[in-house]
Amino acid sequence: MTKIQQDLEDLTQKATSALIACEDAAALEAWRVAYIGRSGLIPGLLRNIKDLSDEEKRTVGSAANALKRELEEKYQEQLHVIEKGASTRGVQATNCKLQAGGGHLHPLTLTLNRVHEIFSAMGFIIADGPEVEEVKFNFDLLNTPAEHPARGAGDTFMVDPMSVNGAEDLVLRTQTSPMQIRSVAAMQLHPPFSVIAPGRVFRKEKVDATHESTFHQFEGLSISETTSIADFKSVIETFFSAFFHADVVIRLRPSYFPFVEPGFEVDMSCVFCKDGCRVCKHTKWIEVMGAGMVHPNVLKNMNIDPDKYQGYAFGGAIDRLAMIQYGINDIRLFWSGDVRFLRQFDRVIPAKAGIQVDPPSRRAGVDAGSSPA
């Protein structure tokens, strides 16, 4: 690049940013004189062209002329804006103001807050833990055998030891279940206790309308000497009823997770219909979480005596709850950053603290709502 070409580029940058900064007619006139006026910098540059070779004259000359035309056009635009009474700065400031006034919570945050609120009202304490997790917590201590398919690199994001000072055996947690073990240890919980741990999880999913590689779960754990499946059923029914402001019934189907025995899939009665609709795929039931009674091996890993204590654990997806609640049909919208999607939540009133949740009369045995000892 010749010196004159370099000067031309520098000048373009300088002239453009100086033009944007012009807030009123006086500033704009000063800019015009300095850059495109008869004795301004651009004509000055054009005058220097005469010293160049014929070849250079052609290329640099046409570039300089194009720049001059472009700046003249921009000048006219800016003049128009200023004459209309709104400098570019003013416009930007107005936008900022609008954004500040119109800010609102993301639908996932709204949903997460509601989950917090309802479980807190039932006496669950809230725990938070790491997203980059040790294989030990994500799998081993959760009774997941070494040959379990979920442990493979096909399903799980492995953390490259080179990126974490050589630390081995780290993964992006595939579930919030490691928080079962972690929260008991970190908070030195002794039964009876009930804890809820919401957070982000990661899986190597093929992303489509219902699957994301990053989503959010809430893990629940409740342990005492007598906690039963009936307790679980009533607490979860209370939760979904409060969440959807409806009389929700839940049903359990047998399922398998290595860290619970027995394990089940939890369905809730459809809150949108009585006879079947699109949301429940005409089954009248909506699948909402995995759960089960904590496996004795896992209790041992929590240093809790399985001969004396028992309890349930569950894991639901916040994203799925938000989709059901707001009628969102594509999970990818959450991360899309599309303001047309997000703006629809600007009227949603954030959950208030101190919600009252009526315990269902069927709740028996341990009071899952009691605070940890």
258 preceded by cis ω (within 30°)?
Answer: no
| Contact between residue 366 and residue 231 where contact means Cβ atoms under 8 Å apart | yes
| Contact between residue 62 and residue 70 where contact means Cβ atoms under 8 Å apart | no
Q: In this structure, what DSSP letter does residue 345 have?
A: G
Q: Given the complex with ligand PHE, which of 118 and 196 has the nearer CB atom?
A: 196
Give me the amino acid identity at 260.
Answer: V
Q: Given the complex with ligand PHE, which of 313 and 366 has the nearer CB atom?
A: 313
Helix (H/G/I), strand (E/B), else coil: 155 = coil
What is the smallest separation between the CB atom of 165 and ligand PHE, expressed in angstroms? 29
What is the smallest separation between the CB atom of 203 and ligand PHE, expressed in angstroms? 9
Task: Give the per-residue SS3 of 98-149.
Answer: HHHHHCCCCHHHHHHHHHHHHHHHCCCEECCCCCEEEHHHHCHHHCCCCCCH
Measured from each CB, the residue nearest to ligand PHE is 315
Q: Given the complex with ligand PHE, which of 7 and 287 has the nearer CB atom?
A: 287
What is the smallest separation between the CB atom of 372 and ligand PHE, expressed in angstroms? 19
What is the smallest separation between the CB atom of 330 and ligand PHE, expressed in angstroms? 21
Instruction: Compute the distance between CA of residue 274 and CA of residue 284 in angstroms, rounded to an integer.
Output: 7
> Is 261 annotated as ligand-binding?
yes
Helix (H/G/I), strand (E/B), else coil: 81 = helix
What is the smallest separation between the CB atom of 290 and ligand PHE, expressed in angstroms? 3
The mark string for 151-190 relative to ligand PHE (x by CB under 6 A, - otherwise) is: ------------------------x-x-------------
Size of the site for ligand PHE (CB under 6 A): 11
Q: Among 215, 257, 309, 334, which residue sits at the site for ligand PHE (rule: CB under 6 A)? A: 257
Strands (E), the chain: 125-126, 132-134, 170-172, 193-202, 214-224, 250-255, 260-269, 285-294, 310-317
The mark string for 324-343 relative to ligand PHE (x by CB under 6 A, - otherwise) is: --------------------
**DSSP states of 28-44:** HHHHHHHHTSTTSHHHH
What part of residues 273-312 is at the interface with ligand PHE (CB under 6 A)? 290-292
Q: Given the complex with ligand PHE, which of 159 and 313 has the nearer CB atom?
A: 313
Q: Given the complex with ligand PHE, which of 5 and 228 has the nearer CB atom?
A: 228
Q: Given the complex with ligand PHE, which of 35 and 314 has the nearer CB atom?
A: 314
Binding flag, residue 372, ligand PHE (CB under 6 A): no
Quickly count: other Cβ atoms within 10 Å of residue 339's Cβ: 8
Instruction: Compute the distance between CA of residue 295 and CA of residue 305 in angstroms, rounded to an integer.
Output: 11
What is the smallest separation between the CB atom of 262 and ligand PHE, expressed in angstroms? 10
What is the smallest separation between the CB atom of 265 and ligand PHE, expressed in angstroms? 9
**Backbone dihedral region of 26: left (phi > 0), alpha (psi from -120 to 50 degrees) or beta?**
alpha
Q: Do β-strands 193-202 and 125-126 pair in parallel, antiparallel, or remain unpaired?
A: parallel
Binding flag, residue 315, ligand PHE (CB under 6 A): yes
Q: Enumerate the known binding-site residues.
A: 261
Residue ranges for the known binding site for Mg(2+) are 261
Site residues for ligand PHE per CB under 6 A: 175, 177, 257, 260, 263, 290-292, 313-315
